[in-house]
Chains A and B, each alone.
Chain A
């Protein structure tokens, strides 16, 4: 299993998971969001090809109400 930090919380994903699989695990498919992996944005077009590694830190953000 991979030990990940997602939005500051610990989470496990099967070894060899991609960003795309993480998106599926978070039920975010077809939603508007953006992902940063260890401080670098992972463009949507790279989700499938980007493998996750043990200890990776991810930020997953959405638009919310604000002024």
Chain B
């Protein structure tokens, strides 16, 4: 039987369409070959990178991340990982824009402390205002607080990206109810960023109605990263289809037989 055709529903961020709703990071892999293989298996079109000082003494022929993952093939999303205030985050993304020939789509994250990596929302809001005013298209990592998410949208961020749980924790979605409030109110794409541990976590995020999922460690630190990347691709697609299909109502107190109640032998 053919699956009834869904109207094409690409993920649209800042006016650009993407087929894949899975966004992936490029950190924590063994080498660039593994990074590339996992990203290819994930089907991701948007990939995050960090901005760091070049190793001055390095061999001039040392491979570069963007040689393995060229901007001609992927949408590169530079992040502000490791920034603990608005000033450092804005400075980092201005460097990224120069490095990427004027590319303005960025991931803003301003961290509050190095134990939890929880977002510092006052600094995040300050940085978001400055970046939007400077012409950046800001996808923003934030707490799963609906009020803060709305404030970021009103500043002009092109996507809000609440955490599911702490960065790199693999604890999954701790507060689906908050995510549902954010989703109910948002007029920009909502992507879950951080905390995904395994495929079911990604599927749940998509079943809640999230527009996409961003992850890194869940793939890079799986025993088999390439296989997990493939699993995540399917989980995001399955979760999205389940969301569009509309799940059956839950019946808490009574079962309902799937087989006919008439015609049973006596």
A interface residues (Cβ-Cβ under 8 A, vs B): 6-9, 11, 26-28, 31-36, 39, 41, 43-44, 59-67
Contact = CB atoms under 8 A, between A and B. Distances in A.
Given A36-B91, A41-B98, A66-B26, 11 more contacts: A9-B56, A34-B95, A35-B98, A43-B98, A60-B54, A63-B50, A63-B64, A63-B76, A63-B96, A64-B51, A65-B28
B96 A65 contact: no
A30 to B, nearest CB: 10
A63 B29 contact: no
Contacts of B231: none
A61 B51 contact: yes
Given A62-B52, A66-B25, A32 B216 contact: no
A27 B167 CA distance: 35
Nearest to B35: A65
B247 interface: no
Given A33-B99, A34-B95, A63 B60 contact: no
A62 B54 contact: yes
B81 A67 contact: yes
Contacts of B168: 67
B94 A7 contact: no
Contacts of A64: 27, 49-52, 65
A38 B96 CA distance: 17
Counting chain B residues whose Cβ lies within 8 A of the other chain, the interface size class is 35 or more
A40 to B, nearest CB: 10
Contacts of B216: 66-67
A23 to B, nearest CB: 11
Contact of A41 (B48, B52, B95): B95
B78 interface: yes
Nearest to B194: A67
B26 A31 contact: no
Contact of A65 (B65, B167, B214, B215): B65
A48 B176 CA distance: 54
Interface string B43-78: 000001111111010001000111000000000101
A67 B98 CA distance: 20
Interface string B90-127: 01001110111000000000000000000000000000
Contacts of B94: 41
Contacts of A35: 98
Contact of A66 (B50, B66, B95, B100): B50
